[in-house]
Structure 1
Amino acid sequence: MFINKEKLTVEDQAILAKKAAKQTGLLSTEEKNKALLKLADMLEAHTEFILAENKTDLLTGREQGVDEAFLDRLALTRKRIVDFSNGLREVAKLEDPTGKILSSSILPNGLKVEKVSVPLGVIGMIYEARPNVTVDATGLALKAGNAIVLKGGSSALHSNKAIVEVMHKALTETKVPKEAVQFIESTNREAAQQLFTMKEHIDVLIPRGGGSLIRSVVNNATVPVLETGVGNCHLYIDEEADSAKALAILVNAKTERPAVCNAIETVIIHREWLTKYKDELIKTLFKHSITVHGDPSALSIIPDALPAEEGDWANEYLSLDIAMKVVDNVEEAIEHIEKYGTKHSEAIITENKETAQYFMKQVDASALYHNASTRFTDGGALGFGAEIGISTQKLHARGPMGLPALTTIKYLMVGNGQTR
């Protein structure tokens, strides 16, 4: 049974969150850390309950015929529960992003000016299938002194309700008010639409999910939006790429977990490299059951490749499918990425440092890699503990958004009677 039994409207919940944010923003680092550790312990202690509720969502998803990529994002396991619990413990170890003096100066008139970091306030989180987002987003929000209003997708309703129930139980034993974590149970579209326009209660919206969800929030919200983006990520294998590195990174970036946003969807290959290493590439693709949607040059070399249509270059497959384009130089590769990329994560494999530097400078994306997999575009992998999303915009925050992205600034002026 869900703890919050009273039937609250979305606005009621936002008001409660706003009030709780005032309290959470005043807590010490130690008090917030103790709350995160309590959340982690309680979630692990209630693993069986959470998995049972997740099973209900998975059964519903299968009955509705959703694809395997979607089910993978929805599924929880004991390991995934341990992982997101450990993520909370890692966040507890991180430096508190609030109350930091970012700059300090004294004006000629003696007025002292300090710029300090402070919580954003109330974060509205709108997301789809992944129940782990419920935990990651909550942990980061609370550590940064915020409250959070969660609106998960209907496909993960039972999982999210179970997780929030456990978190509410944990918070009652801490200084963080349980009202700082609000979960909107309603599956009506109107509930999400309400969040879009409650500027008086919600300080920022963060959408996380597919392109249609993100576009809906960006196009309809009057509340400021921290925009996350879909991951049409590219891997460019240059003429001077080491074949072992290139193939290992291709396999990792495509197959390790194909249903996530930092998996590659298109591989761009220099014609000379492809001619030299085509047999090794074909063997690797076959071994890992990767289906190629190729341009004419790729079709002439890769057995059983499907002809790429225009939509393939922009497609976020989230599966073991990959688009393949053959180019004659790095400029062509960059031109293709600029046309079809989503400014998420792009990688180049080459032993030529000048070519790599040119690629890194010219490509416009939030995360760029030289001789490494795009799968590292992740808050946990980059040492942020957890992430609330990956921003592909350029204002306020860009790339994996950890704790600093959930703060804003406040100017504090101290004088001794100065007037202007």
Structure 2
Amino acid sequence: MTLFDLPDFKLPNSDTLYTALLARDPSYEGRAWVGVTSTGVFCRLTCPARKPKAENCRWFDSLGACIEAGFRPCKRCQPLKSATDAEPVIEELLTALNARPDHRWRETDLTAMGYDRGTVRRAFKRHFGMSFLELARLERLRRGFEVMGDGGTVLEAGLEAGFSSASAFRARVGALLGIAPSELSRALSGALSSDPLLSIDWIDTPLGPMIAVADTRTLHLLEFMDRKALPTELRKLAEGAKGRLGFGRTPVHDQLAQQLSDYFDGKRAAFTVPLAYHGSAFYAQVWDALRAIPAGETRSYGQLAQDIARPTASRAVARANGANQIAILIPCHRVIGADGALTGYGGGLWRKQRLLEIEAGYARASSAKSDQP
């Protein structure tokens, strides 16, 4: 029995994996992959290419995790080959995906191509931990990020992520809530002016479209459109608003959009948009502590627990971090593992990596400024 046969197998530490990478250790084949931040590719540990520096390596336990983090497969070691050899449908659909980079894939496309949707879903779940449609959406998001890197506009990047119009956005939100978009609009327009209305709008960012929910005074939610917890979060807001929820844009949305634009352009490291918390007093304490972490710095869950004088509450701090529904402004992306590795992020690890890179730039600029006489 090998270590991979054990049901509780977990990736070893970074030093062990880096040693295996240098030795091209085949015992990790199919169970561990390396993402190289300097090139943006992910590889097998047996890859014959020149080895990266240890600080440029990130480690993954699935193909899907590599793709979710924004890495593309290495052309030399072809890390997807085992999957494509085992399931011809995977190779055929990956080829189709590459041949139609601008296409927004749907289940009807698979049916039209003669595939059984259940068979496709099971094949991709087995090897990637996600469906083909989910993988195709991640690929669009990755290309959107590359558009920005090549000097494209925020709008172009947002369109790459899959929303071609405001009406498409409204239809997507309606589907998430199980409410027709027209019903949402009437709920908002028909409410009394004295009621605390919540308005839903979308904001383009270089990392994909986000949904923002605000009243005329505060922001209640800001999430990436593909976050899995978004439907649940929206339904809770709708219940709390007692139906007074619809599409619209408030001054808070305008303020938020401008400050996010400044943030991604390197002009603003902190936000002044007023926020509405939806959680316990303990959660609010954790979220305040997150907002107090300077851009360019990170904390572990244990360190965050120390910051709020609750040193034994690391797990509770982790739950509060996961319950945050105002991304970026409440910077849960600044929490990493005690060993320095990236931990889970609802918006995807590739976004977390990019946010930390942006904020490292702010830290460097601040340090350079303080060094000036």
| Bucket of the pairwise TM-score, normalised by the shorter protein | under 0.3
Rg (Cα) greater in structure? 1
TM-score (norm 2): 0.25
Q: Which has the higher contact order (CA 8 A, sep 6+)?
A: 1
More helix by percentage = 2
